[in-house]
Chains A and B, each alone.
Chain A
Amino acid sequence: MDDGKLIRVENLRGGYGDDLVLDDVSLSVKVGEIMVIVGRSGCGKSTLMRYLIGLARPWSGRVVFSGQDLWADPSVLDRARKRWGVLFQSGALLASFNLMENVSLPLVELTRMSQEEMELVARRKLEVVGLAHAAEDYPLSVSGGMQKRAALARAMALDPEVLFFDEPSSGLDPITSHSLDLLIKRINRELGTTMVIVTHELPSVFAISDRVVMLDGEAKGVIAEGTAAQLRDLSTDPRVKSFFNPEKSEQEEQ
C-alpha cells in the first residue's frame, strides 16, 4: 500500500456504449476515511462507482486497489471483492431469501464456515445495524430503511476493509436517512472501515464526509476536492458554489 492510499483511480476514461461519461479521472481514497463523491444527477457518479467496484472495465486508465490494478488479471478482482462490501441504491437483497439468509450469503458462498458459525456472524451483523428482531423477515415485507440496513449488514458480513455506498439515502425519509448516516459514521469510527459514498444529499455530505470529491457532467470529471466546508465556503467555481448553496444560486438566477 502506498502512502496510506487504499484506492487510486488513474486517468480513467469510461462510459456507456459510445457515450463518454468520464474523461481522464484521477482520484484516491485514503485508508480509514469517509470519502464522498457528489455531483448533480447524470454527472457520472454512479458510473464511477461501477468502475471502482469492478463491475465494468475502464476504456483506459487504471483502478488500483491496495497496490494492484483490478484488471491486471482475474484473480486480483476476485481477491479484492472479498475485501470490500457494496451497498446498492436499491439494497439489492435477494427477494427469495430472508434477511438472515441474505446476510449469510457471502459466508455460505465464500467461506467454509459451519452452519452455526454463519448464523452467529449473520445475527451479530444484523444486531450491529439494529435488525436482530427481523432476521426471519423477507426483504419485500420490511421498510426501505430496514432493507438498506440489512444490505449494509450483508456488505459487512466478511468484515470488509472498504464499504461502497451508492446513494444510501435515496428513497428514505430525512429521519431514517439521518440515522443511516449516523450508523455509517459509527461503523467507520468503531471498525476503521474505509467508506466511499456516492450521494447528492447535502445533509449527508456535511454529516459524514471527511473529504468530498465533486464530479461534473460537462467536465466529465473531478472539478473540486476538499472538505465539505471548504467546498461550500471557499470555492470560487460557480458550479461548486451553486451545488453547495442551492438556495443562494436560485436567488441569483432570479
Chain B
Amino acid sequence: MERGGVPVRLESQGSKVVFGKSLSSDNEKRLRAFFDSAFEVLSKRREVVFDFSSCRSMETAPTAMVYNVSRRLENIGVDVEWRNLPEEGRALLASFERQTAVPKRISRAWSVRGIVEDIGESGRTALEVAKGLWKFSGRTTLATLSALLRPATVRWKMVRFYMEQGGVGAVPIIAVLCWLLGTVLGYMIGYQLKSFAAEAFMPDLISYAMVWEISPLIAAVLVAGRSGSAFAAEIGTMKVRQEVDALEVMGINVFGFLVTPKMLALMCVMPFLTLLADMAGLLGGLLIGGWYLDMPASIFIRRVNFVLLPIDFWWGMLKSIVYAVIIANVGCYMGMKVRGGAMEVGRATTSAVVTGIFMVILADALIAIAFMHVRPPLTI
C-alpha cells in the first residue's frame, strides 16, 4: 500500500483501522471502497479501534460515513473505539451521537386500518374540494352576472387576451386531433360495417359519434389542458406573490377582476372550437370514406346532411358553454386554493386539469341523458 496519499488502512490483522491525514470529500470514494471491502474482516472482530492519531482535518460528510460504519459494526456486536480524535472530530462525533439519540419519527406501518383511514381521508378531501368548488362557482356566477349587467366594469382587454390564448391558440391542435379521430373512427366503423355490406351507413355513425359526443368532449379536454391549467398557474402564482391579497384589501372584487374575464372568454370561444372540431371530425370521415370505402364525397355529404339535424350542432355548442364554465371555474378555484410556494402551484395546475376533465365528463353524462329525451328520433 502506498503511503501518504492513503486515506485509511487496516492494521493488526484487521482489529485496527488507521486513518490518514485527512477525511475529506476528495477521498470519500476511496474511504467508501475501503470499508466496503474491509467490513467483512472488521465484522469478525470483537473489538475494533479507529485510530485518528495522524488525522488533522475531518469533514462532515466522510466522517458521517465512518460513523455510520461504526454504528453498523456495533449493531452486530463489534465494539468500536474512536481513538486520538482531533478536536473537530470530537465535536462531530458528539453531534452525531446526539442526532442518533433522538428517536426517529416512525412512519406508519402498513395496516388494514391505515388503508381504510387513507380512503376515508381522500374521500373527505374530495368532498371538501366539491364543497369549495360549489361555493366558488356560486361567487363567480354572481360576479359574472353582475359584470354583464354593467359591461363597463368588465376588463374587456383581458377577455380579448384570454380569447386569443384559449381560443385561437387551440385551433390547430383541436382541428388536427379531431380530424385524426374522425379518420380513425371512420376506418374502424367502415371495417366493421363492410363485413355485412353496410358501409353506406358509415357517415351516419361518424356524424353521431363526432357531433354528439367526441368533438365537444375533445375540445373541452384540450381547453381544460391548455387554459384550465394556465388559469390555475396564473392565479396560483399571483396568490403566492400576495397579489391576490393586495387586490382584496384594495377593495377590488377578486372574482370580477380575475375570474370573470377568463370565464367570459372561454364561454365565447368554446362553441366555435366545438364547431371547428365537428367540421374537422367530419372531414376526417369524408376522406377515409373516399380512400377506404370508395365513397364519393358527395354521397358522404348528402348522407351527413340527411341524418344530422340542426339541433345536433346547437346542442353541442350549448353544452360546450357548460364545459367552458366548468373549466374556468375549476382552473380558477385550484389557483385560488394555493397556499405557500412553487410546489403548490404545480399541484394546483395538475388538479385543475384532472378535476376539470373529470367534471366535464360527469356533466357530459348528465347532458347526454337529457339529450336523448330532447332529440327527435333518428332518420334512416
Contacts and interface: CB of A to CB of B under 8 A. Distances in A.
Contacts of A53: 249
A25 interface: no
Nearest to B153: A109
Interface string B280-301: 0000000000000000000000
Interface string A57-98: 000000000000000000000100110111011101111000
Interface stretch (B56-64, B170-178, B240-248): B240-248
Contacts of B238: 94-95
A105 B245 contact: no
Contact of B248 (A55, A89, A94, A154): A55
A78 B238 CA distance: 22
B251 A110 contact: yes
A92 B241 contact: yes
Majority-rule SS of B interface residues: helix
B79 to A, nearest CB: 38
A106 interface: yes
A54 B249 CA distance: 7
A48 to B, nearest CB: 15
A105 B250 contact: yes
Contacts of B249: 53-55, 81, 84, 86
Contacts of B39: none
Contact of B250 (A81, A89, A95): A81
A234 B257 CA distance: 50
Nearest to A110: B251
Contacts of A78: 251
A81 B251 contact: yes
Chain B interface size, as a band, is 10 to 19
B127 interface: no
Interface in A103-117: 105-106, 109-110
A94 B244 CA distance: 9
Nearest to B251: A81
Contacts of A154: 250
B245 A88 contact: yes
Nearest to A50: B245
Given A90-B241, A92-B241, A95-B241, A82 B246 contact: no
Contact of B251 (A82, A93, A94): A82
A15 to B, nearest CB: 15
B148 interface: no
Nearest to A151: B246
A88 B242 contact: yes
Nearest to B250: A106
Contacts of B91: none
B252 interface: yes
A54 B252 CA distance: 13
Interface in A136-190: 151, 154
B250 A90 contact: no
B192 to A, nearest CB: 52
A88 B252 contact: no
Contacts of A93: 243, 246
A105 B243 contact: no
B246 A86 contact: yes
Interface in B194-248: 238, 241-243, 245-248
Contacts of B253: 109
* Residue picked from A81, A90, A109, most chain B C-beta under 10 Å: A109
A54 B253 CA distance: 14
Contacts of A106: 250-252
Contacts of A92: 241-243, 245-246
B151 to A, nearest CB: 14
A155 to B, nearest CB: 8
Nearest to A88: B242
A71 to B, nearest CB: 15
B252 A105 contact: yes
B196 to A, nearest CB: 60
A197 to B, nearest CB: 15
A89 B242 contact: yes
A84 B246 CA distance: 12
A212 B248 CA distance: 27
Nearest to A94: B243
Nearest to B257: A109
Contact of A95 (B243, B247, B248, B251): B243
A89 B242 CA distance: 9
B17 to A, nearest CB: 39
A92 B246 CA distance: 6
Contacts of B246: 86, 88, 92-94, 151
A29 to B, nearest CB: 16
Interface in B308-336: none
A55 B245 contact: yes
A185 B217 CA distance: 59
Contacts of B248: 55
Interface string A114-138: 0000000000000000000000000
Interface of B: 238, 241-243, 245-253, 257
Given A55-B248, A105-B252, A109-B250, 18 more contacts: A81-B250, A82-B251, A86-B246, A86-B250, A90-B242, A92-B241, A92-B245, A93-B243, A93-B246, A95-B238, A95-B241, A105-B247, A105-B250, A106-B251, A109-B253, A109-B257, A110-B250, A151-B246
8 contacts: A55-B248, A81-B251, A90-B241, A92-B245, A92-B246, A93-B243, A109-B252, A110-B250
Interface of A: 53-55, 78, 81-82, 84-86, 88-90, 92-95, 105-106, 109-110, 151, 154
Give 7 nearest A-B pairs by CB, closest first: A81-B251, A92-B246, A92-B242, A86-B249, A109-B252, A88-B242, A106-B250
